[in-house]
Amino acid sequence: MTRAMTITEKILAEHAGLESVKPNDLITAKVDITLANDITGPVAIKEFRKTGAEKVFDKERVVFVPDHFVPNKDIKSAEQAKNLRDFSKEQNLKNYFEVGRMGIEHTLLPDMGIVGSGDLIIGADSHTCTYGALGAFSTGVGSTDLACAMATGETWFMVPETIKVEFNGELNKWVSAKDLILFLIGQIGVDGALYQALEIGGSTIENLPMDGRFTICNMAIEAGAKNGIIVPDKITEDFVKNRCQRPYKFYKSDENAEYAKVLKYDVSEIEPQVAFPHLPENTKPISQVGEIKIDQAIIGSCTNGRLSDLKVTAEILEGRKIHDDVRLIVFPGTQEIYLEAIEAGYIQTIVRAGGAVSTPTCGPCLGGHMGILAKGERAISTTNRNFVGRMGDVESEVYLSSPAIAAASAVLGKISSPEKLSER
């Protein structure tokens, strides 16, 4: 009799051609998509050449998105992007996305239907785990592992144990998916799910739109997880059915599947969260933040650059001005989201308030460009990491939050809840 399995185990078993797998099994599995960007791609291409392979395993399944140092900030970054461009032309890749037509990779791929439910996806970027929101097994790998998969269409895994997390109840005002994942990381720590799958569910998640699900799975890696995953449902179906470029498949965990542990949280007890420097686990509820002045606010990235994020930002900024001492920089996740935000009037509201809006790029998130912090500066950011020097000087500080907290903080000049705006 086949053992009961979790959704993660079922996807891995299917792609390995096995009836079942269990935690700690070593398997070789076929991949549906390989992904790299302008930082990791050139390394993968170099290693691909070393394999002796002349062609990638499938020109429709090898994806390159220049998004980290683009639009190019210097000669070296221009050369890296050119490396991707030239290789993509040589291999006649279907999914290479040039500046002006690209987006932040982990927002672009699901929106374009390149990744889908039931897929096995690897990317040379740690936040590849984002696509678990679709009910896919999706994880980050090194550029060398990616190069081998580009050549063979396969890679190896050790099957992870699974931690089941249930969020139940109705969210409080201004509490979002970003607050849930920050809360969870604060509870279990940055190594609390080390090489384990985080299976996120519960009544709160069942009612959560796709944007929020992407945010949660995006930050699974910040708890050390191998992957984050949400069992697909009607909300998932509505997202993928007219979008996915290939057949997709819904998996769900067996009722008697084994979990390393089960964590349950009542979301009515969760406030908006802020992660203090220099780890995502250093979370505090907004009521305990205190007086922390900021120099910069960043709203966007692969974590919170979707239309709903820009909507809440615009709603808070409507009729208000950014604090004189603060720079607000906003990064839509894709060009399409950018256009939708313009049509909805969100971008106009942000600009009128004194915010700067950029074409999609990962630049500020990794301290690459377009938002680097100087020594002693503080930023509130909707990105996913706040390590030492993450966004600039090693003596700068990054605080992580939801778009609602970041927008209100940009107006008030200090880390604050939108509720404080009425007291101004």
Please state, in angstroms and rounded to a whole number, the distance separating the CA atoms of residues 122 and 31: 7
pTM of the model: 0.94
- Give the pLDDT score at 93: 97
Task: Collapse the DSSP code of 381 into the 3-class scheme (helix H, G, I; strand E, B; otherwise coil) and give the result.
Answer: strand
Please state, in angstroms and rounded to a whole number, the distance separating the CA atoms of residues 334 and 348: 17
User: Residue 268: how many CB atoms within 10 A of its CB?
Assistant: 12
Q: 4-42: per-residue pLDDT in tens? A: 999 999 999 999 999 999 999 999 999 999 999 999 999
Q: Which amino acid is at 150?
A: M
Please state, in angstroms and rounded to a whole number, the distance separating the CA atoms of residues 111 and 281: 29
Report whether pLDDT(423) > 70: no
Residue with tokens 């909707």: 382
Locate 284 and state its tokens. Answer: 């505090």
Q: 139-184: per-residue pLDDT in tens? A: 999 999 999 999 999 999 999 999 999 999 999 999 999 999 999 9
Please state, in angstroms and rounded to a whole number, the distance separating the CA atoms of residues 105 and 162: 26
User: How buried is 196 (Cβ within 10 angstroms: 0-12 exposed, 13-18 middle, 19+ buried)?
Assistant: buried
Q: 383-410: per-residue pLDDT in tens? A: 998 988 898 889 999 999 999 999 999 9
Q: HSE-up of 417 (CA within 13 Å, CB side)?
A: 19
- Give the pLDDT score at 417: 93
Residue 106: C-alpha distances to residues 58, 133, 287, 316 (Å): 20, 11, 32, 26
- Give the pLDDT score at 363: 84
Domains of the chain and CATH, by start: 7-246+257-264 (3.30.499.10), 274-423 (3.30.499.10)
Quickly state the pLDDT bin for 1 (edges 50, 70, 90): low
Q: 219-264: per-residue pLDDT in tens? A: 999 999 999 999 999 999 999 999 999 999 999 999 999 999 999 9
What average pLDDT does range 311-332 have in this prediction? 97
What average pLDDT does range 82-99 have in this prediction? 95
